[in-house]
A and B are shown apart, each in its own frame.
Chain A
Amino acid sequence: MIGFLSILTPIENVLTWALEGLHTTFGLTWAWSIVALTISVRMLLVPLTVRQIHSMQRMQQYLPEMKAIQKRYKNDRRKQNEELMKFYKEHQINPASSCLPILPQIPIFFALYFVLRDFDDEIYPLYPQSDLGWLGFVPDITANITSDWSGYVLLTVYVASQVASTWFMPTQSKGQRVIFLILPLVFAFFILDPPGGTVFPVGLLIYWMTTNLWTVGQGLVTRGLRQKTTPEPVKRSSRTPPKTERPEDVAPLEPDGAEPTPKAAGQPRKVKRKKKKGARR
């Protein structure tokens, strides 16, 4: 645990430097500095989002086949998942999600926690009389969430934003989605009554809220983009082996006119796999 905390020190320094910079050069209050910091971090991650949009578009081309797999193994979720993953690999589909981008958020969250917890002792004395409030109703963003009624308001907004952002993330099943809708509530109760008298500063909620709302906004924009663009059949034929699958390639548009179906859904997959392997090697 001590080793983990010492890893955080450089991150804490960077966060402190960024917050102070935003505060002094742009004249932002501390709360808005946190918002600005969060947004800048998320903006750096936008290239990843662009990639995700591409992979989602690609995934939609294979939707009929993926649905067929899901139907075939609907009683065995494990098997269904495995088959789906095999299908991704075969067709070189890059699923939108991944674990790695989540990990940096964990040390940042902890580091911000320590920065805000020690804010009164370490940063505030350097900037006496600076504004610790937010939007005129939060008196002190370094105070515990439960110390003022505004904390409860922000906590409600946080839970709502968490639920909303969950809505835009790809999930495997309905059950999982339900779990992820309930968990923010559990987390909220944990914040309200933390064990061992831990302090949860309001600023941490501001960070969490901002990042969630960014996810929601991004999801809305992405959704719009996905509906506008129709995948080109030419692109697809370059990736699928020629001749053997060309007839299905130029498939008619679906009734809604959005996506051309790449292949007939009912076609046995094993045969196709053999063809693919033969063409690759």
Chain B
Amino acid sequence: MRYVGIAGVYAYRYTFGALFPATCKYHPSCSQYAIDALRQYGLVRGTILAGWRLLRCNPWSHGGLDKAEDQRLFR
């Protein structure tokens, strides 16, 4: 099931993601984070983690190193 989500992220990467230059202020980038999160935590929790990450990737945050396995939302 999680591979549906991962496929979705790749679909984004090769369509809309391709239209914009890499803009992420985090490492790994939001799309990579989404792929990692989906792979490690499954479709539902992975999607929530990716969504939360996208919200954090706003002009007011500081960015930086932020890996999916370091998340603190789910234990």
B contacts with A, residue count (CB < 8 A): 24
Compute how far the CA of A98 lies from the CA of B16 in the bound complex, rounded to whole angstroms.
15
Task: Say whether B2 faces chain A, with CB atoms less than 8 Å apart.
Answer: no
Q: Which secondary structure characterizes the binding site on chain B?
A: loop
A183-B64 contact, Cβ under 8 Å, with A97-B25, A98-B25, A99-B30 = no
Nearest CB of chain A from residue B11's CB, rounded to whole Å: 11
Q: Report chain B residues within 8 Å CB of A267.
A: none
Contact B22 A172 (CB under 8 A): yes
- Chain A interface residue number, banded: 35 or more
Task: Identify which of A51, A89, A97, A106 gathers the most chain B CB atoms within 10 Å of its CB.
Answer: A97
Contact A88 B57 (CB under 8 A): no
Q: Report chain B residues within 8 Å CB of A85.
A: 26-27, 63-65
Q: Which of A81, A98, A101, A103 contacts B61 (CB 8 A)?
A: A98
Contact A89 B59 (CB under 8 A): no
Task: Say whether A180 faces chain B, with CB atoms less than 8 Å apart.
Answer: yes
Q: Report chain B residues within 8 Å CB of A98.
A: 23-25, 57-59, 61, 63
Compute how far the CA of A139 lies from the CA of B21 in the bound complex, rounded to whole angstroms.
33
Q: Which residue of B is nearest A176, CB measured? A: B22
Q: Report chain B residues within 8 Å CB of A170.
A: 21, 23
Compute how far the CA of A102 lies from the CA of B27 in the bound complex, rounded to whole angstroms.
17
Q: Report chain B residues within 8 Å CB of A94.
A: 25, 59-63
Contact B26 A97 (CB under 8 A): no
Nearest CB of chain A from residue B15's CB, rounded to whole Å: 9
Nearest CB of chain B from residue A96's CB, rounded to whole Å: 8
Task: Say whether B74 faces chain A, with CB atoms less than 8 Å apart.
Answer: no
Q: Report chain B residues within 8 Å CB of A183.
A: 18-19
Nearest CB of chain A from residue B58's CB, rounded to whole Å: 4
Q: Report chain A residues within 8 Å CB of B26.
A: 85
Compute how far the CA of A149 lies from the CA of B64 in the bound complex, rounded to whole angstroms.
47
Contact B22 A89 (CB under 8 A): no
Contact A86 B64 (CB under 8 A): yes
